[in-house]
A and B are shown apart, each in its own frame.
Chain A
């Protein structure tokens, strides 16, 4: 059980820092700011803890990681104590509807957690990639005595991808190493923490952008997205990556570019797709947000440099994506039949995001019909939408040139790639909608007519 302490410790570390340094106190509604600070803090704390552990392991001393964490946590706690959150006016919206939606979010959270519990019980070691890649490499990182380098050794089979980034494995390894216990609790708790952080950031962030009801509605849509929910207890890196990507985009939309950059940097250290995301995030930020992009780059740089240095220091593996895809790349890219196969697979996988008759796009359509679009808000939606669209195009391009068997790669990866982008799509859709209090507010003339009838 002591593994759980280290998961909670990392979350406390990040939450303390985000509450003290994130500037989220200015966000309204207040609970939205608290949710964003908590979600970004939890994800950031796990990332920071993983980074400290990785550096500690490279330096041959895992306790160095604890020393760095202690310094950060006490520094953050001191600053948080100095900067208490002020009480200011709240956003006014229908209290009844708000409470109903908040209760619905809580109810859905209970339902999906019970479903996760079934997965944790029957497959505590997670699905294939969990034990074949992420947790396996965590075991090497946790073993001490100079075994860490085995986590990226070419001797490790191709199925274990020694070239993949190490944020998730490093964090799980830190929990195992500090608790002197290699059990499934650490990866299970880590996966759940990332899922909760994602829900918290999207709910709180959209609430701060578009009002409490829309924030709660965005949280509801994610809590009822079967494809995302299937991945949450799998112990893969896709939900952590989705969490970092959504967090980075939301924080950029909330004008917190440094924190946004930090989360984007962690995305690059989580999965290879995170490196693509980081590049797209910085380019889109430079085009749409201009000066904020420099601050985002400053936030992303430290972790991104670790990710890039790790990649560059590895020998080129024949079994990696770049190793397999190098030869015949041009001919594959020019093969139109491949583009057709990929587009058909996109269609199939988007349809497969459903369960039974329910597809998560249905509540989004209902929200769109209810609230309509708001022209003034489209700029915010264009920002997140551009990131999502370019990511999808990037994934399309990767499938186009891949040297792996195309059908196998589409079958095994595309569904999870869509899960990574889905929260960005939800954010984009909701950010473009009119806040319900505006839509509900009747014109004075119409109001008079109605009262006249009565």
Chain B
């Protein structure tokens, strides 16, 4: 075996090792990190609310989540799930999504003309501004 063949064989064997190591790394990682932001679960969680709000709505957004990555993940996952509806971080809309992390007094958020329209459970609450049809 000359230097060229040896080098080419070494490269091929190294690549094989790399692919096998990657396979081990990836399968282990995926076992431990299935849907870390629970995006898939939002489809079921937000489905009743989606059925109650028109497709062209721009929803307001209220949450009890403190700011940070978890809050951004909750907001963005809700926006992804409810598209083509849009969501804006404001209560100044006809329809407002309450996206809560824990049970609480959801009526406390119903102020300044905002009424609690429906509590769908699982931290999903729909508010609607009074005076709107």
Contact = CB atoms under 8 A, between A and B. Distances in A.
Contact of A366 (B14, B22, B35, B56): B14
Contacts of B86: 150, 153, 155-156
A136 B77 CA distance: 9
A121 to B, nearest CB: 7
Contacts of B7: 366-367, 369-371
B80 interface: yes
Interface string A103-138: 010011001101110110111110010011001100
Question: Which of A101, A108, A135 has the most B CB atoms < 10 Å from its CB?
Answer: A108
A384 interface: no
A160 B76 contact: yes
Interface stretch (A213-221, A266-274, A321-329): A213-221
Given A115-B26, A139-B80, A150-B84, A356 B21 contact: yes
A99 to B, nearest CB: 12
A100 B4 contact: no
Contact of A123 (B4, B35, B77, B83): B35
Nearest to B36: A123
Nearest to A128: B37
Contact of A160 (B2, B5, B79): B79
Nearest to A124: B40
Given A112-B22, A224-B16, A363-B18, A436 B4 contact: yes
Contacts, number: 167
Contacts of A160: 76, 79
Contacts of A155: 58, 86, 88
Given A356-B21, A370-B11, A104 B16 contact: yes
B78 to A, nearest CB: 10
Interface string B71-87: 01101110110011011
B45 to A, nearest CB: 14
Interface residues of B, number: 47
B19 A111 contact: yes
Interface stretch (A40-48, A140-148, A289-297, A298-306): A140-148
Given A226-B18, A358-B18, A140 B2 contact: no
B90 to A, nearest CB: 10
B77 A131 contact: yes
A140 B21 CA distance: 39
A121 B30 contact: yes
A97 B4 CA distance: 11
Contacts of B26: 115-116, 118-119, 229-230
A159 interface: yes
B47 interface: no
Q: Is the interface of B mostly helix, strand, loop or mixed?
A: helix
Interface in B34-70: 34-35, 37, 39-40, 55-56, 58
B79 A157 contact: yes
A367 B9 CA distance: 9
A362 interface: yes
A136 B83 contact: yes
Contacts of A369: 3, 7
A157 B19 contact: no
B8 interface: yes
A261 interface: no
Nearest to A233: B26
Contact of B34 (A115, A123, A229, A362): A123
A370 B72 contact: no
Given A224-B19, A229-B26, A370-B3, A136 B11 contact: no
B105 interface: no
Question: Which of B2, B22, B25, B87 has the most A CB atoms < 10 Å from its CB?
Answer: B22
Contact of B30 (A97, A123, A358): A123
B10 interface: yes
A362 B27 contact: no
Report, nearest first, the 9 A-B pairs whose CB atoms are least far apart. A370-B7, A224-B18, A143-B84, A139-B83, A224-B15, A122-B34, A366-B11, A363-B11, A115-B26
Interface of B: 2-8, 10-12, 14-23, 25-27, 30-31, 33-35, 37, 39-40, 55-56, 58, 72-73, 75-77, 79-80, 83-84, 86-89
8 contacts: A112-B19, A135-B80, A220-B12, A358-B17, A367-B11, A369-B7, A370-B5, A370-B10
Given A118-B31, A217-B12, 11 more contacts: A104-B16, A122-B35, A123-B30, A131-B39, A136-B76, A221-B11, A224-B14, A363-B14, A363-B15, A363-B18, A370-B4
